[in-house]
Chains A and B, each alone.
Chain A
Amino acid sequence: MDRKGRLSLDMLIGLSIFLVTFIFIAQFLPTVFADVRSEIGLAHEAYKVTVMLAETEGAWSNGTHNGTNWEDYESQWGDTDFVFLPGLTEGEPDYLEFDKLKALQNATENYYNKVREMLGLLTPDRNYNFHVSLESLDSKPYNRTLVTDRDGNVVLDAGADIPSSGYISRYERNVWVNSVYDLVGAYYIGTAGPRNVPNLCRVNVDDIDCNFTYPLRFFAIEVFGKENDPTNVWWLGVCLQKTGTPSSCNAKPDTIQVGYGSPLTSSNVKWEDTLAVKTYELTTILNNIMRDEGFSDGDTVYIKIGIHNTNATLYYSGTIDYLAGKAVAKLVVYVW
């Protein structure tokens, strides 16, 4: 009988190999999620940035004073003792102020790293890049439509260039902007003086022809009054067609009429009102007419504006949507 205690060498070697393997897997497993963790981290950073921009009005402090109107201190943005959170709202989430959007554009262009720092993207243990823009509701990542102001300048498209590969997190927020008339072009279409019209329009002797795309985003006409003799009749007609330019668009005296086809008759007038000194917001009316006539998104619509003895301005935008009485767009944030 063997009285010596003996451990089998096979068992020792097998156990050792098993333990080494087990420890190796235990060390290896967390690294499996490393890529995923960085993706998750990016998403949280992008979410945080959208909350700071779209839900807060921002703040500033220089050590002795503070406030929320950080956009008024452009000369101090670069100062080391001046800190600011570039929130964009008017005090209500999703309600953005036009001046703050422009200020963020300037701040990011001139003090990119400072803005990154203020948004928490640049810290001793974190280094993210970002890009922020104000885009149309149907803007796509591969075909971006940036919102422009009344002078045709892009309102907000700031930050580092968006990379074409790698991990990028993208968040968008539906917002509305104050005020709508900072974002739409104003074009004099009245009979009192020289007319100016959007790029897609042409001035004729008696009327104006335009080629727009359905659905219209913002289309309003502000009437200021009669051009000259107050006893003369005045009228304003808007005619839509799917193919070919409308031939004429004379409305009934003292009315504003919107119709499909031309000339305007009692059978093709879809909406009318007494012409008065006021603003006629026609976006929804025109889109409804086109929808009823079977227009599809992206279809060209031929519009003729006939106008007589009237001082008026056309407000038009091809980038900002006018929904529920608000100028609506989306704030898009990329972080990588």
Chain B
Amino acid sequence: MKAQAFTLEGVMASLLLLVVLYSFFQSTIVISPMWSEITDAQLKLIGYDTLKVLDYYRTSSDEIYPNQSLQGMIVHLNSTFKPNQDFIYALERMIYLADYRLELCWANLSTNAVECRALVDKKPTPEAVAASRIVVIDSGEFPASSPFYGRGYPIVFEVRLILWRP
């Protein structure tokens, strides 16, 4: 008679184990580690492509950088480090529906340091991705109102675009 009780417990324990495991893995709690990379990859591509499209390659030094380009945005910065509206329009048109933070870093040869400023200072979520692009602008391009005026050497800038889904 005792034998029956132990067997029944074994059956019930196995069934319970099975049901629990089945429900656990069928639920949305368990996410494959690859999933976040899928949404990241699309956003990363958008960031990369956006910076590439906005990078304006001049065919002659007489050409003026469009305001909407990375170079045009940097050249027209003043002490407030606020990007011009044309650039913001072009950027937002391309990243469409994603939220973003924009940072600018540059090499300061006088102090041998890399300085950075947030041009659009929004707080990213933990799922944010980043893309960046290096541009070089000759010192003669900057107007007197620019914080980069009069450096006397070509300045290397890194434009960093951090994107996330709101």
Collect the chain A residues with CB atoms within 8 Å of residue B56's CB.
Answer: 324-325
Q: When the two chains form their complex, are residues A324 and B49 in contact, meaning their CB atoms are under 8 A apart?
A: no
Within the assembled complex, what's the spacing in Å between the Cα atoms of A29 and B25?
8
Q: Is the CB of B94 within 8 A of A323?
A: yes
User: Across the two chains, which residue of chain A brings its CB closest to B30?
Assistant: A32
Given A10-B2, A40-B32, A172-B46, decide whether A324 and B10 contact each other with a Cβ distance below 8 A: no
Closest partner residue, chain A, to B49 (CB atom): A174
Min C-beta distance of B132 to chain A, whole Å: 15
B45, A171: Cβ atoms closer than 8 Å: yes
A324-B14 CB under 8 A given contacts A10-B2, A173-B45:
no
Would A284 and B32 be within 8 Å (CB), given that A94-B53, A171-B45, A324-B53 are in contact? no
Using known A-B contacts A174-B49, A174-B94, determine if residue A323 contacts B54 with beta carbons closer than 8 Å. Answer: yes
A-B interface pairs (CB < 8 A), number: 108
Q: B29 contacts the other chain (Cβ, under 8 Å)? A: no
Tell me the complex Cα distance, A284–B84, Å.
12
With A138-B96, A325-B66 as known contacts, state yes or no: A175 contacts B32, CB within 8 Å. Answer: no
The residues in A between 247 and 264 inclusive whose CB is less than 8 angstroms from any CB of B are none
Bitwise, B67-109 to A at CB < 8 A (1) or not (0) is: 1110010000000000001100110011010000000000000
Complex interface: stretch among A18-26, A68-76, A202-210, A309-317? A18-26
For A20, what are the chain B residues with a Cβ–Cβ distance below 8 Å? 14
Contact B32 A326 (CB under 8 A): no
Which stretch in B34-42, B115-123, B144-152, B155-163 binds the other chain?
B34-42
Asked if A50 and B6 sit within 8 Å, CB to CB, the answer is no
- State the CA gap A29–B30 with chains docked (Å): 13
Q: A13-B10, A284-B67 known; A323 and B93 CB under 8 Å? A: yes
Question: Does A93 touch B at the CB level, under 8 Å?
Answer: yes
* Segment 1-35 of B: residues with Cβ below 8 Å from A: 2-3, 5-7, 9-11, 13-14, 17-18, 21-22, 25-26, 32, 34-35
Q: Determine the distance from Cα of A150 to Cα of B34 in the docked complex, in whole angstroms.
A: 43
Asked if residues A47 and B49 are in contact (CB atoms below 8 Å), the reply is: no
Q: Say yes or no: is A287 at the interface (Cβ < 8 Å to chain B).
A: yes
Interface residue total, chain A, C-beta cutoff 8 A:
44
- B-side contacts of A171, CB under 8 Å: 41-42, 45
B50 with A174: CB separation less than 8 A: yes
Do residues B17 and A21 form an inter-chain contact, with CB atoms below 8 A?
yes
Q: Is the CB of B96 within 8 A of A50?
A: no
Given A43-B41, A174-B94, A328 and B53 contact (CB-CB distance below 8 Å): yes
Q: Is B52 among interface residues, defined by CB-CB distance under 8 A?
A: yes
**Which one of A18, A50, A138, A284 lies within 8 Å of B45 (CB-CB)?**
A50
Question: A139: nearest residue on chain B (CB-CB)?
Answer: B96
A9 within 8 Å of B by Cβ?
yes
A284 touches B86 (CB 8 A): yes
Question: 5 A-B pairs, CB-CB below 8 angstroms?
Answer: A24-B18, A28-B22, A174-B46, A174-B49, A215-B89
Q: What residues of chain B have their CB less than 8 Å away from a CB belonging to chain A? A: 2-3, 5-7, 9-11, 13-14, 17-18, 21-22, 25-26, 32, 34-35, 38, 41-42, 45-46, 49-50, 52-54, 56, 66-69, 72, 85-86, 89-90, 93-94, 96
Q: Which 8 A-B pairs have the closest CB atoms?
A: A14-B10, A10-B6, A174-B49, A21-B14, A324-B68, A324-B69, A323-B90, A32-B25
